[in-house]
Amino acid sequence: MMNIPILLTVLIFALIPIILTLILTRHKKPSQNLPPGSLGIPYIGQSLSLLGAMRTNTAEEWLQKRIEKYGPISKLTLFGCPTVFITGPVANKFLFTNGGNKLASQQPKSITRLLGARNVMEMVGEEHKRMRSAIGMFLRPEVLKRYVGKMEDEVKRHLEMHWSDQGQLKVMPLMKTLTFDIISSLLFGLERGRLREALVKNFNEMMEGMWAVPVNLPFTRFNKSIRASRRIRSMLSKIVRDKRVALDEGRFHPTEDLITSLLSFGHEEGARSLTEEEILDNVIIVIVAGHDTSSILITFLMRQLAKDPKLYEEVLREQEEIAKNKVPGEKMTWEDLAKMKYTWQVVMEMLRTVPPVFGSFRRVLKEVEYGGYRIPEGWQIFWASNITHYDEQLFSKPRKFDPTRFENQSEIPPYSFVAFGGGARICPGFEFAKIETLVTIHHLVTRFKWRLCGKDDSFIRDPMPSPFEGLPIQLEPKIVE
């Protein structure tokens, strides 16, 4: 019989290769075929550094440095999750068309808590398709074209109330009010009054805590947001109930507004009707996704038009031509918008140079492969529109503001202009945003001139672009003959 020390020695020698193999494969497997780059400190990784760059408006440079160091695919850790950053048209195509059941939209859990778990961004596959067709019922051009005049009424009323008698004003907060009012009037049939004001107040309160540290204790910003979200839900729930009754009694048409459209969904499409939770969550996501983005776009257009008098003159010339052909009081139409070709090119160039949505995340539901690397299940993928928009292979002299590059849109390579995303999750509010932007610019340039009067005309990302002090301007109303 072997004595104990010899037995132990034999055992250790026998176990060494097994232990070594285990250690090596444990360390090797996760990094096998993973993209280059470092994950940094677990959970935190590079989040603070990227957020810092956003706040100093140097996020493009931050990402460019990564690309120079690691190439167009690299791994890092952002907001608690191992992440792969990918960029360029091929990457965009992969991300936008690979949705199916492999990639899902990725919202931080705290945001889902505020916006609801049944909103379209949380859905994948068939569920996502169903919800997109429900939302698209109202947001399609055939329906929206009937509402150009209604949007114009909101714009005119807003300018009358908040702009006409002002010398100096801050553009950004006013634009937020305007786009909120347009959305509530068009999508929810909510006219001016106490209910709309209460909703705006609660929405602002909810949005303030959306990017706050998600600690739900009394008096934290996040807790205030949660309470505001509950109040919004209870107000919207009453609106939905009233509209259901009006629909049943035949007082409303299914395409009266977004809510009646969502309530009617399923009857003719042969799909399952939407639950009340689904209606509420999607009404909320549409307001959140739709009002900040458009207000930022119009604010930055005003900034650009103030900085470039020639651009302003050209836009004005086109808009005056349209105004000239109208009798006083005649409303704008879909056909008028189709004539605003140059103005639309300016809008597209604005979206290319300062896209309101810097980028976003996808959650990997099933391991995927991209560019020869594997991206494991549970990781996230980060894409950034800015980097593609400033690629000189795609847009020559990318720093130059040049609307003529959108003269012939078919010349722009696919997946290069991605301000509205792409594929199955492409922004469903594109036409809506187009109408409200063109109508607003029409009334702004034909009624006013303005100049920037802030100390600093640059901006930060918060995470959306936000000009210093809300973009103060000196307004000069024109004499209307």
Report how far residue 281's alpha carbon sits from residue 230's, in angstroms, rounded to the nearest whole number.
11
Residue 130 in contact with ligand HEM, rule: CB under 6 A = no
Residue 429 in contact with ligand HEM, rule: CB under 6 A = yes
Angle made by CA atoms 459, 163, 285, in degrees to the nearest 5: 60
- Closest CB to ligand HEM among residues 34, 286: 286
Handedness of CA 363, 369, 371, 376 (dihedral sign): positive
- Closest CB to ligand HEM among residues 74, 360: 360
Angle made by CA atoms 414, 286, 153, in degrees to the nearest 5: 100
- Closest CB to ligand HEM among residues 163, 432: 432
Residue 301 in contact with ligand HEM, rule: CB under 6 A = no
Taking alpha carbons only, the member of 481, 459, 464, 24 closest to residue 472 is: 459
Stretch that binds ligand HEM, among 229-237, 287-295, 300-308, 457-465 (CB under 6 A): 287-295
**Scanning the structure block, which residue is given the tokens 């059941």?**
101
Residue 443 in contact with ligand HEM, rule: CB under 6 A = no
* Element at 53 (helix H, strand E): helix 47-55
Residue 99 in contact with ligand HEM, rule: CB under 6 A = no
With CB atoms as reference, the residue minimizing the distance to ligand HEM is: 429
Residue 427 annotated as part of some ligand binding site: yes
Report how far residue 255's alpha carbon sits from residue 187's, in angstroms, rounded to the nearest whole number.
10
Q: How far is the CB of 175 from ligand HEM (least distance, A)?
A: 11
With CB under 6 A as the contact rule, the residue among 63, 236, 279, 285 that binds ligand HEM is: 285
Angle made by CA atoms 381, 384, 385, in degrees to the nearest 5: 140
- Closest CB to ligand HEM among residues 316, 347: 347
With CB under 6 A as the contact rule, the residue among 47, 74, 105, 319 that binds ligand HEM is: 105
Beta bridge partners of 105: 362
Report how far residue 440's alpha carbon sits from residue 457's, in angstroms, rounded to the nearest whole number.
22
Residue 178 in contact with ligand HEM, rule: CB under 6 A = no
Residue 286 in contact with ligand HEM, rule: CB under 6 A = yes
Q: How far is the CB of 55 from ligand HEM (least distance, A)?
A: 21
Residue 289 in contact with ligand HEM, rule: CB under 6 A = yes
- Closest CB to ligand HEM among residues 37, 428: 428
Residue 294 in contact with ligand HEM, rule: CB under 6 A = yes
Residue 111 in contact with ligand HEM, rule: CB under 6 A = no
Taking alpha carbons only, the member of 145, 422, 136, 144 closest to residue 271 is: 136
Q: How many residues bind ligand HEM (CB under 6 A)?
A: 23
With CB under 6 A as the contact rule, the residue among 54, 73, 114, 120 that binds ligand HEM is: 120
Report how far residue 334's alpha carbon sits from residue 155's, in angstroms, rounded to the nearest whole number.
16
Residue 356 in contact with ligand HEM, rule: CB under 6 A = yes
Stretch that binds ligand HEM, among 27-35, 66-74, 369-377, 415-423 (CB under 6 A): 415-423
Report how far residue 231's alpha carbon sits from residue 223's, in angstroms, rounded to the nearest whole number.
13
Stretch that binds ligand HEM, among 222-230, 238-246, 328-336, 354-362 (CB under 6 A): 354-362
Residue 214 in contact with ligand HEM, rule: CB under 6 A = no
Residue 76 in contact with ligand HEM, rule: CB under 6 A = no
Question: What is the SS3 assignment for 473?
Answer: strand
Helices and strands counted in the chain (H then E): 18, 12
Stretch that binds ligand HEM, among 39-47, 48-56, 229-237, 427-435 (CB under 6 A): 427-435
How is 171-228 classified by DSSP, letter by letter?
A: HHHHHHHHHHHHHHHHHH---SSHHHHHHHHHHHHHHHTTTS----STTSHHHHHHHH
Task: Show the tokens assigned to 389.
Answer: 């928009």
Q: Which residues bind ligand HEM (CB under 6 A)?
A: 105, 120-121, 132, 285-286, 289-290, 293-294, 297, 356-357, 360, 419-421, 425, 427-429, 432-433
- Residues making up the binding site for heme: 427
